[in-house]
Structure 1
Amino acid sequence: MDGSSPPEEVSDEASLSVSVPPLPEAPVYWFAGTTWGADGDQLERFMREGTWENGYEDQFTDKVKQMRPGERIAAKSTFVRRYELPFDNHDQPVSVMRIKATGTIVANPGDGQHVRVAWDPVTKPREWYFWSFRNTLSGLKPSDDYRQKLIAFTFRNAPQDYNYWLNEPYWVKRYRPAEAEATVGIDLPQGPENVEEQPLEVQPPDYTTASIVAEGCFLAEAELDGMLERLRAKKNLVLQGPPGTGKTWLAKRLAAALIGRSPASAASRLAVVQFHPSLSYEDFVRGWRPSTDGRLTLADGVFLEAVREAQGDPNTPFVVVIEEINRGNPAQIFGELLTLLEHDKRHEDEAIALAYPDPRDKTKRTYLPENLYVIGTMNVADRSLALVDLALRRRFAFVGLRPQFNDAWRAWCVAQGKLGTADLAAIAARMGALNDAVAGALGEQFRIGHSYLTPARDRPVTDGRRWFAEVIETEIGPLLDEYFFDAPETAKSLRLQALAGW
């Protein structure tokens, strides 16, 4: 359904003659999709029956229950367009939200599936650019400039000021000539016939947990799906485990799967930072920094920049990956934003003032949007790391990773490293015995991960035994020395046992 023409006028007077309750305080303005699956566009039926329905049984039900009589609703479709735009986009694709109809909610039975709507008379669809909503159902309060402008455009017939959006920092990067010239676009033929409309609501992701498995993850796809679901629900996830279990590797790929794009394509929506003892709130959130003219200027850190970008494009997830999240002091680094990390505080009603106010608007408050996610990694074997306080633990879901010398690891080593099955069986047995001894002496968190003994893609190992011995001597041996720093003979004995008889 391309929404190029409005539905026909309907004659069901009952759906339009329902009395509309008075508008409640703090109203929410709803933007609702009307197309899903193979059923096509449902707008004509909705207008005829005086309703809007949720096309999913397992999504958006909580939001539907929040829709109140008297609040306004707009039927929309969302897509991208590259040509035939009313402004100069320098050949870059632009997100478009077509407003197909508006109405007022008159009743909500509370089933999470539908509301009664008094639809306004049909008018010609109008198109809104830049800041749009991919989700089937989104609710907005007029709490900032972005929302106020969209609400006025949709429900009060106000024009869209394209220059305002083209001068906003997020879109400056995309559409100003200097940046646009440096960006490699898709080579599409010019001309009005190439509008390239793609409904975002039905676009399948091109990177999934199956893609992670194909890239060399030795966990089952179902287990990865579970991690992704916890991330979606909690908004914040920590991957914890012994060294060599692929925590950072997996964190970046889970972020890519959440975004639905390959790691390379998802890079623009992914920020990676490593915590360390010297990292501060001023580095991570906002603080004073020297400028080129020798003065101090108030600058946003990597986290606040990610917050702003996520707020600017609510269609797609933005992910901040924090390596070694407990190597710094998370409570001090996050500051007051630690409170807002909670999944149920991800909306503008929870906005708070920062320690360093925005110099452009000192009354402005900050909130964390729903489409901002945080993935941390934690090496639980490092004695130098501080314990994670309960405040941080309550805001994150924690997933433990373990060494995976399993069948998936063996298949990868055969395909990519050209290792023999006999050598791999011996390596797995020796590492199993070594890890059991280490765990018995120090604890499960000190096991040694499979990354140490996983060959890189398309890097054949010519001599499996020699390769194993080199890894033991140069990588795993020094790690054992660190583990048993007060018992060097134990470290030496374990190293010799791993190599004995081979």
Structure 2
Amino acid sequence: MKYDWIDFYTEFATKLLTFKTDRKTLIQKIYAVYDAAGISVPKLESGDEIIDIDPFTVFGTFNKGITNANRIAILNGIASEFGIAANVPSNFDGIPVLNNLKATFYGFKDDRKANDIDNLWSLFEVALALADNDTEDNRQKFSEAYDKVHDQLCIRWNITMGLYWIRPYSFINLDSRNRWFIANAQNMPGEFVVAAEKKLKKVPYAADYLEIKDLCKKALDAGQYDYKSFPDLSYTAWIVSEKVNQEKSVEKGKKTSKAEFLKWFMPLLQALRDLGGSATPAEARKKIIENEHLSNEVVNETRGKTQVNKFENEVAFARNYLVGAGYIDKSVRGVWTLTEAGKTVELTADMASDIFKKGVSDAKSKKMNDSDALADSDVDTIHYWIYAPGHNAGKWEECYKNGYMLLGWGKIGDLRVFSSKDEMKQQMKKEYGDSSSYKNSAHATWQFVHDIRIGDVIYVKKGNNGILGKGIVESDYEYDADRTDEYLNVRKVNWTNKGNWIIKHQFPQKTLTDITPYSDFVQEIKALFEGDDIADDEPENIYPEYTAENFLDDVYMSEDDYTRLVGLLRNKKNIILQGAPGVGKTYAAKRLAYSMMGVKDVDRVMMVQFHQSYSYEDFIMGFRPSATGFELKKGAFYNFCKKAEVDSDNEYFFIIDEINRGNLSKIFGELFMLIENDKRGNTLQLLYSDEKFAVPKNVYIIGMMNTADRSLAMLDYALRRRFAFFDIKPGFETPGFREYRMALDNEKFNKLIRCVENLNREISADESLGEGFCIGHSYFCNLQPDTIDDSLLYGVVEYELIPLLKEYWFDEPMKVNDWIENLRSAIK
């Protein structure tokens, strides 16, 4: 395959070297390139002005997440400014790209060291020399320069991408796709995979990088594979990984039709422009048909048993996403009107994809606003729903026969046009009168269109405790305007079971209820269908991958600390993460488990919180009141261990928040011995049962405790002997937090962080406090450049930090007042 970008990139790299000692001229040329391209210069420094730059970051400006049109425009400018003779490429196959938020190879001026950029230029120079003349002397010089850069801020796997850009036939790119690809023995020789395995677990130093490069080149030169060079390898890795990602998306039930409506984004905007800026939905569709020369076959295609028009449905979806992106106004019902932005925007395929992803992300954040802290917001699990098909299940036979579920409230129209439950409630009051609050009704209609997912399980109810059937959701929401009754809201369902069963639980008096959180309730209903062959067709959850690299991106912890933490937990099996409030213990706990599993399998992780009332009966088992007296109920840890026991090939993680708040001897009981690493698998008689119980070897226990909580006694030695203790410290100095500060680029925020770092040094030196009372970084996380402002920082200082200091130094008011003044001054 011909890579027409290579000649341009290598010539530019050679010419770029001449600016090593004249960076002022280089910066002027960069501004000229962007001016000629008509594109804003990307943010390359904490202020607006570039004060210095390295050659890899120069390459990174056009090798990141931008459109090909912008990339070509930049390269045309470079060709002109730098006198590049090679043709400007139009194809970029085999080129790895940077994350737009991490597109510099150096920290901003307040965070980088004095020689960081000089070191990058030195590496650039010796890398070109090594590529042109591979001698032992050049290898030694390269290794020294590479290792010096390796530990700098903002240097990770991106340095291997930078080396590849400047000499793609000489240096191997080790981005995530390439690492994944070459670690598979189907793609590379077994001896290479074995030799490279450990070296690919973290960013290699020069000796390991050169060994990987040499071994890989040797394997490619042997001619065993279709890919013969490093560019071939990168391109193949990209193609194969894309195919795998698409297959995973299909497996997760994300059907292609779900994103097919993206193709109508630009035609819809153009149709509205042609119609003067606004139109009814029917007029807009008619204009799209005219502009796009659509055939009758396309226009009249239907889908599902309800025969919903596919074209109309997808255009309606496109309109909803364009509303969310700010291109179409929704204030007038029944009229689609362009905003000022919508009148001029030219949507590319990448922009359309970003709008779709943002829409999905926004919907998830509305649904699970607080779950990001526990790392589960991107995990789509099967949910279980109780559903009433009409009054007294009057629509059940129709639903079962036709393979769908129906919901009423048809007068308010297509549910997708509403952006909130309040909008739904207002329309219900308008159509049905204001005699009701419509709170539950709006909640049901919102869930029907937004919360139910393909693959979810529907149980059909009748009365207070009757079950009529079970089914699996097979389609997205559809609006069937041709129905003559109230039930215009439709989802296709594969009804797998039909009958008449009675359960003990009383159903909620609502049309639609998500019962997933009520595990006992779900298990009681599931038990009705056990032994039924067709009841075992629930789709298997496909969980997102989660690696050590993901952990280090999410959690402000050094790579060395993470490696030690994982090794400690694997060896001891029980660990307690301890530290001051706000250092991210809870945030890190689930992510630690997921990174060790390699996947966000929520079924293999459980979290509980101890408190003074938590007991052995809650944790293991005990008698609980029931309708007929008392019954023996299994506890959280007992049930978790039983689940892990039958899945011994996989690791399970039990997480205990605030572990020191409970009476541990009372809670663990006889299990104190069984949780020890060398006692796993041994059995012991339980207190309330004649059962012999063991803690499986594949169960890991992660506890969290605040070292600053003075109200609690220290843990007893019996517990300490069975757990390892790992200190989680404030992450202000970690590369991740420093990159986060750079992305925020807020001077007051930076001053506040420097003030808190000074404050922590004083807290650490205080004999009555110490490191366990330091202020954690979590107080300052989850901020965005466009939302951070003075009032937000003021709130953190006044209502979170100052009350903490008053508690720490309650007997030293002068010291408190001094630090209050320091903190307030930082954000003035």
TM range (shorter): 0.5 to 0.7
Cα distance, 1:451–1:186 mapped onto 2, change above 3 Å: closer
**Structure 2 Cα separation of the partners of residues 413 and 289 of structure 1:** 51
Select 1:322's aligned residue among 632, 641, 656: 656
Look up the SS of the partner of 2:624 in the other structure: strand
| Number of the residue aligned with 1:452 | 779
**Structure 2 Cα separation of the partners of residues 400 and 269 of structure 1:** 25
**Structure 1 Cα separation of the partners of residues 738 and 556 of structure 2:** 9
| Number of the residue aligned with 2:621 | 286
Select 1:440's aligned residue among 741, 752, 765: 765
Look up the SS of the partner of 1:326 in the other structure: helix
**Structure 2 Cα separation of the partners of residues 182 and 496 of structure 1:** 64
**Cα offset for 1:488?**
4.3
Select 2:565's aligned residue among 227, 230, 245: 227
Pairing 1:400-479 to 2, within 5 Å after superposition: 400-406=727-733, 407-415=735-743, 418-420=744-746, 422-441=747-766, 442-456=769-783, 460-463=786-789, 465-479=790-804
**Structure 2 Cα separation of the partners of residues 176 and 484 of structure 1:** 64
Q: In the alignment, is the contact (CA less than 8 A) between 2:552 and 2:736 conserved in 1? A: no
**Structure 2 Cα separation of the partners of residues 176 and 476 of structure 1:** 58
Counterpart residue identity of residue 700, structure 2: Y
Identity %: 37
Look up the SS of the partner of 2:643 in the other structure: helix
Cα distance, 1:258–1:483 mapped onto 2, change above 3 Å: same
Q: In the alignment, is the contact (CA less than 8 A) between 1:455 and 1:461 conserved in 2? A: no
**Structure 2 Cα separation of the partners of residues 499 and 179 of structure 1:** 65
Cα distance, 1:488–1:253 mapped onto 2, change above 3 Å: same
Select 2:580's aligned residue among 242, 245, 251: 242
Q: In the alignment, is the contact (CA less than 8 A) between 2:576 and 2:703 conserved in 1? A: yes
Look up the SS of the partner of 1:278 in the other structure: coil
Q: TM-score, normalised by structure 1?
A: 0.56
Deviations along 1:292-325, one digit per CA (max 9) or x if unpaired, are x242111111011111111111111111100011
**Cα offset for 1:208?**
1.7
Larger Rg: 2
Q: TM-score, normalised by structure 2?
A: 0.35
**Cα offset for 1:408?**
2.1
| Number of the residue aligned with 1:124 | none
Pairing 1:50-89 to 2, within 5 Å after superposition: none
Q: In the alignment, is the contact (CA less than 8 A) between 1:206 and 1:261 conserved in 2? A: yes
Deviations along 1:169-218, one digit per CA (max 9) or x if unpaired, are 9x96997669968955479xxxxxxxxxxxxxxxx99322211122x212
Cα distance, 1:426–1:305 mapped onto 2, change above 3 Å: same
Aligned-residue Cα RMSD (Å) equals 3.4
| Number of the residue aligned with 1:343 | 677
**Structure 2 Cα separation of the partners of residues 179 and 343 of structure 1:** 41
**Structure 1 Cα separation of the partners of residues 786 and 656 of structure 2:** 32
**Structure 1 Cα separation of the partners of residues 672 and 812 of structure 2:** 40
**Cα offset for 1:485?**
3.3
Look up the SS of the partner of 1:276 in the other structure: coil
| Number of the residue aligned with 1:161 | none
**Structure 1 Cα separation of the partners of residues 538 and 796 of structure 2:** 42
| Number of the residue aligned with 2:685 | 353
How many residue pairs match? The answer is 310
| Number of the residue aligned with 2:546 | 207
**Structure 1 Cα separation of the partners of residues 719 and 528 of structure 2:** 34
**Cα offset for 1:372?**
0.6
Counterpart residue identity of residue 388, structure 1: L
Pairing 1:25-40 to 2, within 5 Å after superposition: 38=185
**Structure 2 Cα separation of the partners of residues 186 and 369 of structure 1:** 24
Deviations along 1:430-475, one digit per CA (max 9) or x if unpaired, are 011111222333211111000001234x574342x54333211011
**Structure 2 Cα separation of the partners of residues 327 and 174 of structure 1:** 41
Select 1:268's aligned residue among 596, 603, 621: 603
Counterpart residue identity of residue 280, structure 1: S
Deviations along 1:347-390, one digit per CA (max 9) or x if unpaired, are 2xx21001111xxxx2x311111101100001000011221111
Look up the SS of the partner of 1:385 in the other structure: coil
Select 1:378's aligned residue among 705, 728, 749: 705
**Structure 1 Cα separation of the partners of residues 528 and 648 of structure 2:** 17
| Number of the residue aligned with 2:59 | none
**Cα offset for 1:427?**
2.3
**Cα offset for 1:223?**
2.0
Cα distance, 1:172–1:388 mapped onto 2, change above 3 Å: same
Q: In the alignment, is the contact (CA less than 8 A) between 2:741 and 2:750 conserved in 1? A: no
**Structure 2 Cα separation of the partners of residues 424 and 410 of structure 1:** 12
Q: In the alignment, is the contact (CA less than 8 A) between 1:173 and 1:179 conserved in 2? A: no
1:254 aligned onto 2:592: yes
| Number of the residue aligned with 2:820 | 495
Look up the SS of the partner of 1:500 in the other structure: helix
| Number of the residue aligned with 1:133 | none
Select 1:305's aligned residue among 623, 639, 648: 639
Q: In the alignment, is the contact (CA less than 8 A) between 1:413 and 1:455 conserved in 2? A: no
**Structure 2 Cα separation of the partners of residues 235 and 434 of structure 1:** 35
Counterpart residue identity of residue 383, structure 1: R
Q: In the alignment, is the contact (CA less than 8 A) between 1:326 and 1:378 conserved in 2? A: yes
Q: In the alignment, is the contact (CA less than 8 A) between 1:419 and 1:460 conserved in 2? A: no
Q: In the alignment, is the contact (CA less than 8 A) between 1:320 and 1:375 conserved in 2? A: yes
**Cα offset for 1:286?**
0.9
**Structure 2 Cα separation of the partners of residues 212 and 411 of structure 1:** 15
Counterpart residue identity of residue 324, structure 1: E
**Structure 2 Cα separation of the partners of residues 467 and 302 of structure 1:** 39
Structure number having the greater helix percentage: 2
**Structure 1 Cα separation of the partners of residues 720 and 534 of structure 2:** 40
Look up the SS of the partner of 1:268 in the other structure: helix
Look up the SS of the partner of 1:207 in the other structure: coil
Gaps of 5+ in 2: 1-182, 188-196, 199-250, 252-381, 383-522
Look up the SS of the partner of 1:238 in the other structure: strand
**Structure 2 Cα separation of the partners of residues 182 and 459 of structure 1:** 46
Q: In the alignment, is the contact (CA less than 8 A) between 1:419 and 1:461 conserved in 2? A: no
Counterpart residue identity of residue 273, structure 1: V
Cα distance, 1:306–1:461 mapped onto 2, change above 3 Å: same
Deviations along 1:74-122, one digit per CA (max 9) or x if unpaired, are xxxxxxxx9xxxxxxxxx9xxxxxxxxxxxxxxxxxxxxxxxxxxxxxx
Q: In the alignment, is the contact (CA less than 8 A) between 1:241 and 1:247 conserved in 2? A: yes
Select 1:391's aligned residue among 697, 713, 718: 718
User: More relative contact order in 1 or in 2 (CA 8 Å, sep 6+)?
Assistant: 1
**Cα offset for 1:413?**
3.7
Structure number having the greater strand percentage: 1
| Number of the residue aligned with 2:97 | none
Gaps of 5+ in 1: 1-35, 41-56, 59-81, 83-91, 93-167, 188-203
Look up the SS of the partner of 2:750 in the other structure: helix
Look up the SS of the partner of 1:485 in the other structure: coil
Cα distance, 1:462–1:257 mapped onto 2, change above 3 Å: closer
Counterpart residue identity of residue 425, structure 1: N
Cα distance, 1:282–1:39 mapped onto 2, change above 3 Å: same
